Chain A
Protein backbone atom coordinates (compact mmCIF):
# COMPACT_ATOMS: atom_id res chain seq x y z
CA UNK A 1 0.00 0.00 0.00
CA UNK A 2 2.79 2.42 0.94
CA UNK A 3 4.41 1.56 -2.38
CA UNK A 4 1.34 2.73 -4.30
CA UNK A 5 1.43 6.07 -2.49
CA UNK A 6 5.15 6.48 -3.13
CA UNK A 7 4.54 5.69 -6.81
CA UNK A 8 1.76 8.29 -7.04
CA UNK A 9 3.94 10.81 -5.17
CA UNK A 10 6.86 10.16 -7.52
CA UNK A 11 4.64 10.64 -10.58
CA UNK A 12 3.24 13.89 -9.17
CA UNK A 13 6.73 15.15 -8.27
CA UNK A 14 7.95 14.37 -11.79
CA UNK A 15 5.10 16.33 -13.37
CA UNK A 16 5.68 19.32 -11.08
CA UNK A 17 9.45 19.40 -11.72
CA UNK A 18 8.96 18.97 -15.47
CA UNK A 19 6.49 21.87 -15.59
CA UNK A 20 8.75 24.10 -13.48
CA UNK A 21 11.67 23.35 -15.77
CA UNK A 22 9.65 24.14 -18.85
CA UNK A 23 8.57 27.46 -17.35
CA UNK A 24 12.01 28.44 -16.15
CA UNK A 25 14.30 27.20 -18.89
CA UNK A 26 15.71 29.99 -20.99
CA UNK A 27 13.85 32.74 -19.17
CA UNK A 28 16.04 35.79 -18.75
CA UNK A 29 15.78 37.80 -15.58
CA UNK A 30 17.46 41.02 -14.58
CA UNK A 31 20.30 40.63 -12.12
CA UNK A 32 19.21 42.26 -8.87
CA UNK A 33 20.33 45.88 -8.70
CA UNK A 34 23.28 46.39 -6.34
CA UNK A 35 22.79 48.22 -3.07
CA UNK A 36 23.20 51.98 -3.66
CA UNK A 37 26.48 52.17 -1.73
CA UNK A 38 28.07 49.24 -3.57
CA UNK A 39 31.39 50.22 -5.10
CA UNK A 40 31.47 49.89 -8.87
CA UNK A 41 34.04 47.10 -8.73
CA UNK A 42 31.89 45.01 -6.39
CA UNK A 43 28.97 44.94 -8.79
CA UNK A 44 28.40 41.75 -10.66
CA UNK A 45 30.61 42.03 -13.66
CA UNK A 46 32.76 39.96 -15.96
CA UNK A 47 35.90 41.45 -17.43
CA UNK A 48 37.78 40.71 -20.60
CA UNK A 49 40.52 39.31 -18.35
CA UNK A 50 38.08 36.72 -16.93
CA UNK A 51 37.26 35.54 -20.43
CA UNK A 52 40.63 36.00 -22.17
CA UNK A 53 38.81 37.72 -25.03
CA UNK A 54 37.68 41.31 -25.52
CA UNK A 55 34.09 42.14 -24.62
CA UNK A 56 31.58 43.06 -27.29
CA UNK A 57 31.24 46.77 -28.02
CA UNK A 58 27.58 46.83 -27.15
CA UNK A 59 26.99 43.57 -25.31
CA UNK A 60 28.49 40.15 -24.62
CA UNK A 61 26.69 36.83 -24.23
CA UNK A 62 28.67 34.67 -21.82
CA UNK A 63 27.58 31.04 -22.01
CA UNK A 64 28.67 28.65 -19.27
CA UNK A 65 28.90 25.14 -20.67
CA UNK A 66 30.27 21.79 -19.69
CA UNK A 67 31.68 19.23 -22.04
CA UNK A 68 29.00 16.70 -21.19
CA UNK A 69 26.02 19.01 -21.40
CA UNK A 70 23.91 18.32 -24.47
CA UNK A 71 21.56 21.34 -24.19
CA UNK A 72 24.72 23.50 -24.29
CA UNK A 73 25.21 22.56 -27.91
CA UNK A 74 21.78 23.82 -28.91
CA UNK A 75 22.44 27.02 -26.97
CA UNK A 76 25.82 27.51 -28.69
CA UNK A 77 24.26 27.14 -32.13
CA UNK A 78 21.52 29.64 -31.29
CA UNK A 79 23.76 32.26 -29.66
CA UNK A 80 26.42 32.18 -32.37
CA UNK A 81 23.65 32.67 -34.89
CA UNK A 82 22.15 35.57 -32.90
CA UNK A 83 25.46 37.44 -32.65
CA UNK A 84 25.88 37.20 -36.42
CA UNK A 85 22.69 39.19 -36.87
CA UNK A 86 23.26 41.76 -34.11
CA UNK A 87 26.31 44.02 -34.62
CA UNK A 88 28.56 44.81 -31.67
CA UNK A 89 27.52 41.70 -29.73
CA UNK A 90 29.95 38.88 -28.99
CA UNK A 91 29.27 35.31 -27.85
CA UNK A 92 31.82 33.75 -25.49
CA UNK A 93 31.54 30.15 -24.33
CA UNK A 94 33.16 29.37 -20.99
CA UNK A 95 33.91 25.83 -19.82
CA UNK A 96 32.38 25.77 -16.33
CA UNK A 97 34.69 23.06 -15.02
CA UNK A 98 37.84 24.96 -15.84
CA UNK A 99 36.46 28.32 -14.61
CA UNK A 100 35.11 27.30 -11.23
CA UNK A 101 36.04 30.73 -9.80
CA UNK A 102 33.70 32.45 -12.27
CA UNK A 103 31.08 29.75 -11.67
CA UNK A 104 31.15 30.43 -7.94
CA UNK A 105 31.28 34.20 -8.27
CA UNK A 106 28.21 34.27 -10.45
CA UNK A 107 26.42 31.44 -8.62
CA UNK A 108 26.07 29.33 -11.75
CA UNK A 109 24.24 26.14 -10.81
CA UNK A 110 23.42 24.68 -14.17
CA UNK A 111 24.79 24.49 -17.66
CA UNK A 112 23.93 26.15 -19.89
CA UNK A 113 23.69 29.45 -18.04
CA UNK A 114 23.84 32.61 -20.13
CA UNK A 115 24.88 36.00 -18.74
CA UNK A 116 24.20 39.11 -20.79
CA UNK A 117 26.86 41.76 -20.19
CA UNK A 118 26.51 45.44 -20.95
CA UNK A 119 29.34 47.24 -22.74
CA UNK A 120 31.22 47.75 -19.45
CA UNK A 121 30.98 44.07 -18.47
CA UNK A 122 28.21 44.48 -15.95
CA UNK A 123 25.90 41.47 -15.76
CA UNK A 124 22.51 42.81 -16.83
CA UNK A 125 20.45 39.70 -17.53
CA UNK A 126 20.84 35.97 -16.97
CA UNK A 127 19.07 32.75 -17.83
CA UNK A 128 19.67 29.04 -17.38
CA UNK A 129 18.53 26.27 -19.68
CA UNK A 130 18.19 26.55 -23.45
CA UNK A 131 16.70 29.94 -24.38
CA UNK A 132 14.55 30.68 -27.42
CA UNK A 133 15.69 33.20 -29.99
CA UNK A 134 13.10 35.82 -28.98
CA UNK A 135 14.18 35.50 -25.36
CA UNK A 136 17.80 36.21 -26.28
CA UNK A 137 16.84 39.16 -28.49
CA UNK A 138 14.63 40.66 -25.76
CA UNK A 139 17.39 40.27 -23.16
CA UNK A 140 19.87 41.88 -25.56
CA UNK A 141 17.54 44.80 -26.20
CA UNK A 142 17.46 45.41 -22.45
CA UNK A 143 21.24 45.16 -22.12
CA UNK A 144 22.31 47.23 -25.11
CA UNK A 145 22.23 50.98 -24.46
CA UNK A 146 20.09 53.03 -26.81
CA UNK A 147 22.04 54.53 -29.66
Chain B
Protein backbone atom coordinates (compact mmCIF):
# COMPACT_ATOMS: atom_id res chain seq x y z
CA UNK B 1 0.00 0.00 0.00
CA UNK B 2 1.29 3.47 -0.77
CA UNK B 3 1.76 5.88 2.07
CA UNK B 4 -1.44 7.89 2.53
CA UNK B 5 -1.34 11.44 1.23
CA UNK B 6 -0.28 13.99 3.84
CA UNK B 7 -1.46 17.58 4.00
CA UNK B 8 -0.54 20.69 5.98
CA UNK B 9 -3.33 21.21 8.56
CA UNK B 10 -2.77 25.00 8.46
CA UNK B 11 -3.53 24.94 4.74
CA UNK B 12 -6.77 23.08 5.44
CA UNK B 13 -7.86 25.72 7.93
CA UNK B 14 -6.92 28.52 5.59
CA UNK B 15 -8.95 26.84 2.83
CA UNK B 16 -11.88 26.45 5.23
CA UNK B 17 -11.73 30.19 5.96
CA UNK B 18 -11.82 31.08 2.25
CA UNK B 19 -14.61 28.53 1.72
CA UNK B 20 -16.60 30.24 4.50
CA UNK B 21 -16.21 33.63 2.81
CA UNK B 22 -17.33 32.26 -0.57
CA UNK B 23 -20.34 30.44 0.92
CA UNK B 24 -21.37 33.49 2.97
CA UNK B 25 -21.14 35.65 -0.16
CA UNK B 26 -23.28 33.12 -2.02
CA UNK B 27 -25.97 33.49 0.64
CA UNK B 28 -26.08 37.27 0.18
CA UNK B 29 -25.63 37.47 -3.60
CA UNK B 30 -28.48 37.59 -6.15
CA UNK B 31 -29.27 34.21 -7.70
CA UNK B 32 -27.02 34.30 -10.81
CA UNK B 33 -23.99 35.40 -8.78
CA UNK B 34 -24.82 32.89 -6.04
CA UNK B 35 -24.95 30.11 -8.64
CA UNK B 36 -21.57 31.13 -10.04
CA UNK B 37 -19.99 31.24 -6.57
CA UNK B 38 -21.44 27.86 -5.57
CA UNK B 39 -20.38 26.24 -8.84
CA UNK B 40 -16.85 27.56 -8.37
CA UNK B 41 -16.81 26.33 -4.76
CA UNK B 42 -18.09 22.93 -5.92
CA UNK B 43 -15.07 22.65 -8.23
CA UNK B 44 -12.74 23.44 -5.31
CA UNK B 45 -14.47 20.81 -3.17
CA UNK B 46 -14.24 18.33 -6.06
CA UNK B 47 -10.46 18.86 -6.22
CA UNK B 48 -10.14 18.16 -2.48
CA UNK B 49 -12.57 15.24 -2.53
CA UNK B 50 -10.56 13.53 -5.24
CA UNK B 51 -7.39 13.98 -3.21
CA UNK B 52 -5.97 16.65 -5.54
CA UNK B 53 -5.48 19.27 -2.84
CA UNK B 54 -2.71 20.60 -5.08
CA UNK B 55 -5.32 21.64 -7.65
CA UNK B 56 -7.35 23.65 -5.13
CA UNK B 57 -6.82 27.38 -5.70
CA UNK B 58 -7.05 27.96 -1.93
CA UNK B 59 -4.36 25.39 -1.27
CA UNK B 60 -2.16 26.91 -3.98
CA UNK B 61 -2.59 30.37 -2.54
CA UNK B 62 -1.61 29.01 0.87
CA UNK B 63 1.41 27.18 -0.53
CA UNK B 64 2.64 30.18 -2.53
CA UNK B 65 1.91 33.11 -0.26
CA UNK B 66 1.49 31.92 3.32
CA UNK B 67 3.62 28.81 3.80
CA UNK B 68 6.89 30.52 2.78
CA UNK B 69 6.19 33.10 5.51
CA UNK B 70 5.02 30.59 8.12
CA UNK B 71 7.79 28.08 7.67
CA UNK B 72 7.36 24.31 7.48
CA UNK B 73 4.47 22.77 9.41
CA UNK B 74 5.11 21.19 12.82
CA UNK B 75 3.27 18.11 11.64
CA UNK B 76 1.34 16.85 8.66
CA UNK B 77 -2.08 15.32 8.67
CA UNK B 78 -3.45 12.27 6.93
CA UNK B 79 -5.51 13.49 3.98
CA UNK B 80 -8.22 10.81 4.15
CA UNK B 81 -10.57 12.50 6.59
CA UNK B 82 -10.29 16.00 5.09
CA UNK B 83 -10.75 14.39 1.69
CA UNK B 84 -13.95 12.78 2.93
CA UNK B 85 -15.03 16.10 4.47
CA UNK B 86 -14.47 17.87 1.14
CA UNK B 87 -16.76 15.26 -0.41
CA UNK B 88 -19.45 16.11 2.14
CA UNK B 89 -19.01 19.80 1.28
CA UNK B 90 -19.23 18.96 -2.41
CA UNK B 91 -22.53 17.11 -1.88
CA UNK B 92 -24.12 20.05 -0.04
CA UNK B 93 -22.87 22.54 -2.61
CA UNK B 94 -24.15 20.47 -5.53
CA UNK B 95 -27.57 20.18 -3.85
CA UNK B 96 -27.52 23.97 -3.47
CA UNK B 97 -26.58 24.54 -7.12
CA UNK B 98 -29.29 22.20 -8.43
CA UNK B 99 -31.95 23.62 -6.08
CA UNK B 100 -31.14 27.24 -6.91
CA UNK B 101 -31.09 26.50 -10.63
CA UNK B 102 -34.49 24.81 -10.27
CA UNK B 103 -35.89 27.83 -8.44
CA UNK B 104 -36.03 26.08 -5.04
CA UNK B 105 -34.29 28.99 -3.36
CA UNK B 106 -34.93 28.00 0.25
CA UNK B 107 -33.54 24.47 -0.25
CA UNK B 108 -30.48 25.91 -1.98
CA UNK B 109 -29.84 28.49 0.72
CA UNK B 110 -30.29 26.02 3.58
CA UNK B 111 -27.91 23.52 1.95
CA UNK B 112 -25.39 26.36 1.57
CA UNK B 113 -25.96 27.24 5.23
CA UNK B 114 -25.06 23.70 6.36
CA UNK B 115 -21.87 23.73 4.32
CA UNK B 116 -21.07 27.15 5.81
CA UNK B 117 -21.45 25.92 9.41
CA UNK B 118 -19.06 23.02 8.70
CA UNK B 119 -16.51 25.30 7.01
CA UNK B 120 -16.71 27.91 9.77
CA UNK B 121 -16.23 25.35 12.55
CA UNK B 122 -13.15 24.10 10.77
CA UNK B 123 -11.76 27.59 10.18
CA UNK B 124 -12.51 29.03 13.61
CA UNK B 125 -12.01 26.20 16.10
CA UNK B 126 -10.28 23.62 13.91
CA UNK B 127 -13.15 21.18 14.35
CA UNK B 128 -13.67 19.08 11.23
CA UNK B 129 -17.32 18.03 11.15
CA UNK B 130 -16.86 15.87 8.07
CA UNK B 131 -13.89 14.12 9.68
CA UNK B 132 -15.92 13.30 12.79
CA UNK B 133 -18.67 11.88 10.63
CA UNK B 134 -16.14 9.59 8.99
CA UNK B 135 -15.76 7.36 12.06
CA UNK B 136 -19.51 7.35 12.70
CA UNK B 137 -20.09 6.11 9.15
CA UNK B 138 -17.33 3.52 9.43
CA UNK B 139 -18.95 2.34 12.65
CA UNK B 140 -22.34 1.98 10.99
CA UNK B 141 -20.89 0.10 8.06
CA UNK B 142 -21.66 -3.62 8.19
CA UNK B 143 -19.11 -5.80 9.91
CA UNK B 144 -16.81 -7.29 7.33
CA UNK B 145 -16.60 -11.03 7.33
Binding site for B on A (CB under 8 A): 2-4, 6-7, 9-11, 13-14, 17-18, 21-22, 66-70, 73, 96-97, 100-101, 103-104, 108-111
Contact = CB atoms under 8 A, between A and B. Distances in A.
Contacts of B113: 6-7, 9-10
A7 to B, nearest CB: 4
A68 B78 contact: yes
A4 B106 contact: no
B121 A14 contact: yes
Nearest to A109: B136
A110 B120 contact: no
- For the residues of B in contact with A, the DSSP-based class is helix
A18 B125 contact: yes
B124 A18 contact: yes
3 smallest beta-carbon distances between A and B, as pairs: A68-B78, A68-B81, A3-B27
Contacts of B106: 2
A135 B35 CA distance: 48
Contacts of B112: 6
Contact of B125 (A13, A21, A101, A104): A21
Contacts of A9: 113
Contacts of B131: 68-69
A101 B132 contact: no
B109 interface: yes
B120 A11 contact: yes
B120 A2 contact: no
Task: Tell me which of A7, A11, A21, A109 has the highest count of chain B C-beta atoms within 10 A of its own C-beta.
Answer: A7
A3 B112 CA distance: 9
Contacts of A67: 4, 78, 80
A100 B139 contact: yes
Given A14-B121, A73-B75, A104 B116 contact: no
A3 B34 contact: yes
Contacts of B69: none
29 contacts: A2-B106, A3-B109, A4-B27, A4-B28, A6-B27, A6-B112, A6-B113, A7-B24, A7-B27, A10-B27, A10-B116, A11-B120, A14-B116, A14-B117, A17-B117, A17-B127, A22-B125, A67-B78, A68-B77, A68-B79, A68-B134, A70-B9, A70-B75, A96-B135, A97-B135, A100-B141, A103-B139, A109-B136, A110-B135
